[in-house]
């Protein structure tokens, strides 16, 4: 495992805001490099803690890249600065999504993946807010562009979201079904969602709603797994199923 510092080279495309991304941790494959997956931490965390867990998984052919989100004021915390992929006020259907922050983070992630060799399979996974950012990236991939209209540059092969939600869920269906090419890409992208039934931070219903919204939008290769007794954290059984999913979907 090693790390690099990463600046906001992909920052806010509109120029109104620019936040510096934190340290990026890399877990090198122990075997033949066949896939690279960006893994995104939750609110207030950093790439280091997840890199240590991912390094222990029996997936020797995957390179893991674990970036750290920018420190930014977060409305949910009363404006307190915290490591966050985007600003969030509350989890509700009526809460406006921070698409500028989402685009900035999605672009940073895509830029990290764009330097991988052409024959390497690419994916994005994450936990909580990281899962939300991964799912937003899935919609950008399907649409072929970010929310701000700039082209999305990488070909994603899989998405994993643990204890998360789908930003912009209300409008995803109309956007994707308005384009044959977007519908084709959505149908081809495998997505694995996991959520604890006892999650007190991002309630299970938000995972269910996200799964439903993705399904209605045309993401056909979709699996949603619920876990009895699981709160807002991960457990070995869940990670075992993530490993099985990745082996099967990426042909490792």
Q: Which of 6, 51, 105, 128 is catalytic?
A: 128
3-class secondary-structure state, position 29: coil
In terms of DSSP bridges, do strands 191-196 and 222-227 run parallel, antiparallel, or are they unpaired? parallel
| Non-local CB neighbours of 117 within 8 Å, separated by 6+ positions | 33
Q: Which H or E element spans position 5?
A: strand 2-5
Encoded tokens for 30: 């122990």
CA angle 76, 81, 87 (to 5 degrees): 45
232 among known catalytic residues: yes
Please state, as a whole number, how many other Cβ atoms lie within 10 Å of the Cβ of residue 228.
7
Map 91-129 to HEC letters.
CCCCCCCCHHHHHHHHHHHHHHHHCCCCCCEEEEEEECH
From residue 114, alpha-carbon distances to 35, 65, 110, 123 in Å are: 13, 12, 6, 11
Q: How far apart are CA 109 and CA 142, in angstroms?
A: 16
128 among known catalytic residues: yes
Q: Which of 33, 204, 212, 232 is catalytic?
A: 232
3-class secondary-structure state, position 195: strand
Q: Which of 45, 97, 98, 199 is catalytic?
A: 199
| Non-local CB neighbours of 188 within 8 Å, separated by 6+ positions | 221
Which residues are tagged catalytic?
128, 199, 232
């Amino acid at each position: 495992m090693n790390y690099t510092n990463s600046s906001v080279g992909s920052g806010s495309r509109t120029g109104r805001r620019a936040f510096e991304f934190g340290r990026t941790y890399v877990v090198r494959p122990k075997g033949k490099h066949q896939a690279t997956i960006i893994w995104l931490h939750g609110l207030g965390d950093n790439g280091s803690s997840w890199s240590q867990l991912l390094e222990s998984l029996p997936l020797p052919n995957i390179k893991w890249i674990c970036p750290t989100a920018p420190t930014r004021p977060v409305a949910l915390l009363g404006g307190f600065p915290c490591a966050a992929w985007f600003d969030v006020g509350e989890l509700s259907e009526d809460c406006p999504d921070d698409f500028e922050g989402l685009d900035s983070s999605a672009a940073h992630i895509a830029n990290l993946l764009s330097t991988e060799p052409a024959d390497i399979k690419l994916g994005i996974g994450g936990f909580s807010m990281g899962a939300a950012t991964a799912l937003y990236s899935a919609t950008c991939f399907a649409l072929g562009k970010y929310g701000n209209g700039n082209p999305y540059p990488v070909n994603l092969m899989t998405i994993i979201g643990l204890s998360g939600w789908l930003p912009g869920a209300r409008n995803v269906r109309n956007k994707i079904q308005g384009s044959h090419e977007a519908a084709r890409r959505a149908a081809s992208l495998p997505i694995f969602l996991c959520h604890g039934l006892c999650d007190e931070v991002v309630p299970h219903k938000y995972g269910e709603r996200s799964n439903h919204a993705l399904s209605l939008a045309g993401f056909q290769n979709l699996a949603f797994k619920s876990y009895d007794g699981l709160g807002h954290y991960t457990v070995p059984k869940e990670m075992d199923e993530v490993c099985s999913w990745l082996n099967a979907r990426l042909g490792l």
